[in-house]
Structure 1
Amino acid sequence: MMILALFALQAASVVSPSAPSDNGDDTIVVTATRLKDTREAWEACLAKGCPPDKEMRAGIAYANALFLNGDFPTARQTLSQAQRRNDRYAKTYPTLVSDLARANARVSSFDGQPIFAMDQTLQAVSTLKQGLASQDAIVMMQRLETGDQMARAGRMEAASSIYLKVARAAERHGLGAVRGHALFRDAVLISAAASVNPDYRVRARRAVAKIAADRDPAMAPFRDGLTQLSARIALLEDKHSDPAAAAKFSRVRSPDAVALLYEPLFDYQRSGLTDSTAMGNSAEWADVAFWVRPDGRVDDVEVRLTSDNKPGAWLPLKLKLVAQRRYTPFDAAPDSPGLYRVERYAMVHDMVMPTGTHAYIRSRTPRLETMDLSSTYRGKSVAVN
């Protein structure tokens, strides 16, 4: 559990500096196109047989609106339909076809389809290879996403193997930034393992030392990240540590460098998850907004939008944990309220096949999915339908 928790912190650590307008009213402002408009654009494109690149973009836009509206199954169906129609254009539009697979992987994870999500992540890599060289930075970064998917599934050694293979390939081809991403991901993962298992401590120290000793200019951001990584490990490793200790770490000048340092672990037993109503196909989710103040503390946590299937006891608990987060302190103007952030939390029951059967059912053990939606929200509320 500790490994996955820390990896979640690493994967969603950078805060967007965007902030909402505050004009004193409840104006609805959303950057996403309304669901009705995206559906009509998608259907019109199909009806007139528009070019494949325009069709794929229309399909992704419609699926994105469906996702924001909480209709994960239809979003999956839309992306899958677009893939069936356009997979043959992988050599011509490798990035767009790969984007369909990447989007389908993310939506499928929210829809409780982890095996399909992994398949789509792998397909995104193979698609890119059809139109790009295997040593292309875009291909390698997508391979890292495959490792991320392994890490989220708890397959630590498989994820580490992918990260290190990408790092070696990036070094051979002179791709310093890609190599940095790969080595830092591995250091995060192994350090998290070391925080709960002493057998990994030597390996973790080596992973950190490898980055710290690398003088390649492309590695500079990752060397800087080691301080924040150490802070996260220390705060997670010491159950009795004071979360406010995060404020003692060096302030950062740019809001773009702000990182999540600490959040208490999600306690399933206290959350009432066994009483969750999300066992059917309709997931429970909520979009939660909050401010990150310049001192790294979180303030004004509030729910912006929820699923029709109202979230159960897990949501109040999650809100409390978000309020206890600590981020990197950052420089800001004296009158700055800080950074505005919106995240979606969904309680997902995966489709599983019980032993001795050939039928998939929803697991009784849920998991929490998270996605950053900060760039979508700019007003007091949001409407996408």
Structure 2
Amino acid sequence: MAIALSVLLLLQAAPATDREPPTIVIQARRAEEDLAACLARNCPPDEEIEAALDAAVQQFADGRYVDAKRVLGRTVARHRGHATENPRLFASLLATSATVAEHEGDDDLFRQRVYERTNLLRTELGPESLEAIMADLDTGNMLMKLGSPITAEASYRRAEEAALAAGRPRLAAAAMFRQAWLELSRGRYNRAESLASRAGEVAGADNVLVAELGRILAVRIAYAKGDEAESSRLLAALPGRTRPAPLLITAPPIPPLNSPSQWVRPAEGMNAFVDVGFWVRPDGRVEEVEVLRDNGRRAWFNPVVNRVADRRYAPFPSGEGDPGIYQIERYTLRPSYEVPYFSRISRRIGSYHLKVASLTHMAEETGESVDSALQ
């Protein structure tokens, strides 16, 4: 079972000749009814957790973040005592709760759920299990998002060491590449290149995927240095890709969203969100960017949509007439929870943050892959 939102949306691309965006099928109400029926008959813990996940992820897709957060929170509280009976399933519950909390704006709950999941998997399955190593990587990602790069680096290193001890060189290489991307964000280009080189040695010279990541890192460093000639040369030298998911090379930064409170008045349960669909062509260009869905607060997301069109992805092999790969991303603009003066109750009055999730890939199994090293 996927450790993220494994049943988020049913997304099916239309035939290439029509080039229409996928159809989004939402069945939140039925899932909620199934959960209510499960609770009414006092169903077993595993069955209730599955029903809660179905309901919550469809509420999330429908933009009902607080409802999803409430369903997941109640389920976690009821069945925390059963976590060790089926740690993988309970870890999925915690991971889904973490994703919802992140988008809903509750950074404290986001952090708590990620740590709880990691500790559960390390304790029950062992620190060198695939699930625990992936959880360490996810912990590092969470810490990066919350502005703690030093602690994130420690999580990545722990994942690297566990992967090496477990005889999983590709996963160790993924952890090294995440450290490399962290160093890239710090402007430590030599350190980033050294980590990428070491990852290549660990994974083996015949590992095509790791070699490709090293070339992508070189392109990103060239872009970061502002060396257009070198970045163009490296980009042109990239070989065709063999993986199904498009690999992002560069994306222009989204400008500050000035005075978001003018556009977003997040009453309880309401966040501003937009689902953006676009085609990634085989040559790496982005075309036909369009807004598929939003919850009515339109003024803020034009800068987001405009920047998506300026991305560049790595080229990938294609057949005659192949339109490329269709992607859907969810952008959420929300304030953080903070406790105001003279109060003990946290409220959504903090700074606004923009969060992004790939709806296209949230249902995929994590597996032992190095794709996530670029995230």
Q: TM-score normalized by structure 1?
A: 0.83
What's the counterpart of residue 228 of structure 1?
A: 216
Is 1:326 aligned to residue 312 of structure 2?
Answer: yes
Query: Deviations along 1:213-263, whole A, 9 cap, x unmatched?
Result: 335479652232111122123224429789977852414242525311111
Shift in alpha-carbon separation, 1:298–1:141, aligned structure 2, 3 A: same
Shift in alpha-carbon separation, 1:104–1:27, aligned structure 2, 3 A: closer
In 2, the alpha carbon distance for the partners of 1:295 and 1:103 equals 34
Shift in alpha-carbon separation, 1:230–1:355, aligned structure 2, 3 A: farther
Asked whether the equivalents of residues 342 and 374 of structure 1 are also in contact (C-alpha less than 8 Å), the reply is yes
Is 1:136 aligned to residue 121 of structure 2?
Answer: no
In 1, the alpha carbon distance for the partners of 2:192 and 2:198 equals 10
In 1, the alpha carbon distance for the partners of 2:152 and 2:228 equals 30
What's the counterpart of residue 113 of structure 1?
A: 106
Aligned equivalent of 1:45, options 38, 56, 59? 38
Structure 1 position 209, deviation (Å)? 2.5
Q: Greater CA deviation, 357-366 or 35-44?
A: 357-366
The secondary structure found in structure 1 opposite 2:186 is helix
What's the counterpart of residue 283 of structure 1?
A: 271
Query: Deviations along 1:291-349, whole A, 9 cap, x unmatched?
Result: 111111111111111014x132x311111100111111111112111111111111111
Shift in alpha-carbon separation, 1:242–1:129, aligned structure 2, 3 A: closer
Query: Deviations along 1:163-187, whole A, 9 cap, x unmatched?
Result: 1122112212322232122111111
- Structure 1: 5+ residue stretches without partners: 1-16, 195-199, 378-385
Aligned equivalent of 1:20, options 14, 24, 44? 14
1:58-207 map, 5 Å: 58-194=51-187, 200-207=188-195
1:359-378 map, 5 Å: 359-363=345-349, 365-374=351-360
Is 1:273 aligned to residue 271 of structure 2?
Answer: no
Structure 1 position 361, deviation (Å)? 3.5
The CA RMSD over aligned residues, in Å, is 2.9
In 2, the alpha carbon distance for the partners of 1:242 and 1:300 equals 28
In 1, the alpha carbon distance for the partners of 2:47 and 2:337 equals 33
- Of structures 1 and 2, the one with the larger relative CO (CA 8 A, separation 6+) is 1
In 1, the alpha carbon distance for the partners of 2:230 and 2:191 equals 27
Asked whether the equivalents of residues 26 and 61 of structure 2 are also in contact (C-alpha less than 8 Å), the reply is no
Q: TM-score normalized by structure 2?
A: 0.85
- Structure 2: 5+ residue stretches without partners: 1-10, 364-375
Structure 1 position 155, deviation (Å)? 1.0
Shift in alpha-carbon separation, 1:205–1:331, aligned structure 2, 3 A: closer
Matched-pair identity in %: 24
Structure 1 position 120, deviation (Å)? 0.3
Query: Deviations along 1:51-95, whole A, 9 cap, x unmatched?
Result: 211111110010001000001011011011111122122221101
Q: Tell me the number of residue pairs that the alignment of Structure 1 and Structure 2 aligns.
A: 352
What's the counterpart of residue 28 of structure 2?
A: 35
In 1, the alpha carbon distance for the partners of 2:218 and 2:22 equals 40
What's the counterpart of residue 252 of structure 1?
A: 240
Structure 1 position 18, deviation (Å)? 6.8
Shift in alpha-carbon separation, 1:26–1:205, aligned structure 2, 3 A: closer
What's the counterpart of residue 213 of structure 1?
A: 201
Q: Greater CA deviation, 63-72 or 44-53?
A: 44-53
In 2, the alpha carbon distance for the partners of 1:242 and 1:304 equals 36
What's the counterpart of residue 197 of structure 1?
A: none
In 2, the alpha carbon distance for the partners of 1:287 and 1:83 equals 28
What's the counterpart of residue 381 of structure 1?
A: none
Shift in alpha-carbon separation, 1:363–1:245, aligned structure 2, 3 A: farther
